[in-house]
Structure 1
Amino acid sequence: MSTLNHVSASTPVSEIVGHMNRDNYVIVDDLVPTSLMDAIEEEVAPYVADTPIGYNAILGRRTRRTGALIARSPSCRTLIQDPTILGVVEQFLSHASAFQLMLTQIISIEPGESAQGLHRDQVAWDFFPFPSDYHVQCNMLWALSDYTAEMGATRVVPGSHLPDALTAKEYTDADCLQAEMSRGSVLIYSGKIVHSGGENRSDKVRRAININYSVGWVRQEENQYLSVPLEIAKTLDDDLLKLMGYQEGAFSMGYIRDFEDPLRAVRGDAVAYGYDPDRVRAEASPEFTAFMANSE
């Protein structure tokens, strides 16, 4: 029987990215300790309990989706900034000028939930037909609970990212493999791979922490500026704020007021006005460098 690709937590980032470039998914086993999962679970428990059940088939009629994890779970901030994950995202989305956090949510699939419809996550952008060689996102599903087939482990269709792949609707259950993994492990996948939540045939709740990243120039699925109140944002480090979107997502994309650094919205005059054109040029793509040269 075929199984999905697994690698160990000690696998170099470049090798993980190699799996992503080839297969558009990979499972990294035991990347974080279960103690971190314990802390997250404790912090979010009251919010999960208050989260309503989904109201349609794609959200799940026996599934709860709890967001705003930066504001609600300090331990989740550690997960979001995991160095291995950020290294993978940076390399996998290196064709863009910047990357950002797209969403944070805990997905709780309760007993009796049916399998979610197969889909590609990149349809979130109004079903825009991104080129087959352009990746707009890099996504994570962390096992917060046990993650077994019986509990509804995520279903993945290997090969469904390829240019000649079928539409999501044309795949069937027979095409799917389930991402069974231990608590603290993570399924990394692209926006092009067909997948879905599985049917929960057990008497336990299957919980995953869904943390997605996208290129910096698209709109985020979860509005981080409203999900994280300003008084909490002021307590966060600059790297996390930039990841949330307090940065320019590309040249002339996302500045505030008078062409100012978005961090000034949180830090005020502690952040210098404007931006450093020499740094921008040094980090820019050849296309941007050529554009600036022709504009001067």
Structure 2
Amino acid sequence: MKIFITGGSGFLGQYLNRVLSEKHQILTTFYSHTGNCKNYNSLQLDLRNLAELRKIFINFLPDVVIHTAAISDTILNSNVSTKEVYEINVNVTEELAKLCQEFNAKMVYTSTDLVYAGYRGSYLKEDAKLIPVSLYAETKLMGEVKIRQVFNNYIILRTALLFGFGLNHSRSHFQYLYEQLRNNKPVKVFIDQFRSPISVIEAARLIDNMLDRNINGEIINFGGPERVSRYELAERLCDIAGFDKKLLIKIKLDDMPELPKVEDVSMNIDKLKSFDLIPKQLDEMIKEVIKNQN
């Protein structure tokens, strides 16, 4: 299978490069950071360059496009404008969908659990109320809408909190948490935000397995099987790695008013499991992440 990956140097993208290249022909792209793309069939690309994007489809003829590229900052820095976020997260997504339709390719789009209303309760299903409270989440939802308006050969993955160790330049909060605790330094962790975390290793593996299934026109909650707060996730890490839980400092969302307030976007993953895509238990994923850290 020929697979075109956007955001190939990102947190998830680099793991997809590793996993998918084992049995597929991949073309992975990066923008500013190379990451591990240099080890694979890759090229540097500004996705807003629609002429270059079309050339890729003409020359590579992908069977599947996995679109992970996005501006994902919850709080924008001064170097990124709102217009750029819309261009990358919405307009590029729409153009990719159109190219997929034209060239008969399936599109796998990584959306986010943050599109859900974070106050509606636990284990939300795919038809739960959608109220994105950040520009990132709003534009990811708009990307979903654009794809569905264009064609039906898609899989939209509402991706939960991804955790693990980033490769090369990429990093995650879990990695920061691990390093602080390993060095016996205190770390602040939310006790009142609940998610369905999934390791980046497990996410890449499940996406690989997903490509063997006959799935299209589906929005799927893509996370782990357990609802935990960020604090509980940190506690699990302490239990497994032997770190001191006394280093964990409990904080609440109200303590950081500059962040969008999302209390509970834990997800029901019955639909994911209905395709025989069964994520590992949280403790298993944490153990695997630690064992495979780079």
Given the two structures, how large is their TM-score scaled by the length of structure 2?
0.22
Higher helix share: 2
Given the two structures, how large is their TM-score scaled by the length of structure 1?
0.22
